[in-house]
Structure formats: structure tokens, C-alpha cells
Amino acid sequence: MLMLTTEETGRVVAAQRVRLRDRLVARLAAGTLDRRLAAGVAPDRSPALALRAQWLIGASARRKLAAHIRTIVADARNYDNWRRPCIVASRHAVRTAAEDLDALADRLAGGLPVSARGMAQAQLLLSDPTSPLYEHGRGAAVRAAASATIVALQPLTA
């Protein structure tokens, strides 16, 4: 069961059973859901958003993102991208922002609570092909994005 707010007012809370369709949408539309969460859409607006947010703030996702960031930074420092047949982050951008990226990885791997919005921003920084991480000469933008993500990871307190 998920507790969701209604789209119209955002005030009425309704319990909703999680369906297989909701789970499929949460998995297959992860990128779209991440963009919505990163933009600040409340996770309780739809079952798919709630499920995606739940996955993002979990320990497994946090460990995976932290490990991915550390791998990107290590590869940029050592430049042994021959073992990675995928799109490679800009070595220059990563080296310029290495300290900020390390701080982001440390925050993700730490035990403090995180927000779904911040986790979605971290996910997009790593996975979105338009991320400054993949453009040469965008080190300052990567630093700014990593710093903003660290701030966004702080959960809202009631």
C-alpha cells in the first residue's frame, strides 16, 4: 500500500494498492521519473513516482551510485578507459570536479538519510547523456551540479 496525495489539491491523502502495472512503469520509465523527481515533483503524486523514489533512497541504489562516481573519478585520474566500451565521461570535466564528485560519493555512501530529489539528481548527473559530465570543458558545471546535488540530498524536515 502507498499513501498518495490527489493531483488536484495535493491535500487529500489516499491509500492505494501497488499494482504490477505501477511496478513496470517505475522500472521502464525510470529516466522520466528521475527527471520529474529531480525537478521537485513530490514522490507521493503517483504510484510510479513513489516506487521510483523508494528505490532511489534505498541502500542499494546509494551504494551503486557512489561506486559509479568513484569509478568515473578513478578512470579520469588513471585514464585507462580501454576497459570501458561505453560512453566515457569527459576526463577534463571529471578531473576538474573530482573533489566535489568525491564529496558526493561520500554523502551517498554515508548513513545519513537522503531525499528522493537529490538521489534523482545524482542519477541524472551520471546517466543523462546531456549531463555536463560528458562534455569536455564543463568541469565548472560538473562541480556546480555535484554541489547542488549534495544540497538536494538533504531531506526536508517537517
Enumerate the domain spans of the chain: 2-56, 59-152
Instruction: Express as a percent the part of the chain with pLDDT over 70.
Output: 82
* pLDDT bucket at 76, cuts 50 / 70 / 90: confident
Say what the pLDDT of residue 4 is.
Answer: 46
pLDDT at residue 125 tops 80 = yes
Residue 28 has pLDDT above 60, yes or no: yes
3-state percent helix, strand, coil for the chain, nearest multiple of 5:
65, 5, 30
Backbone angles phi, psi at 15, to 5 degrees: -85, 135
Residue 5: band (very low, low, confident or very high) from pLDDT cuts 50, 70, 90: low
| Cα separation, 130 vs 94, whole angstroms | 15
Under the banding of pLDDT at 50, 70 and 90, the label for residue 21 is: confident
Judge contact between 18 and 47, C-beta under 8 A: yes
Q: Is the pLDDT of residue 104 over 80?
A: yes
Element spanning 6, H or E: none
Higher pLDDT, 123 or 78: 123
The pTM for the full model equals: 0.81
Distance CA 61, CA 67 (A): 10
How large is the average pLDDT for residues 120-143? Answer: 92
Task: Say whether pLDDT at 2 is over 80.
Answer: no
Question: Between 41 and 78, whose confidence is greater?
Answer: 41
- Name the maximum alpha-carbon separation found in the chain: 54
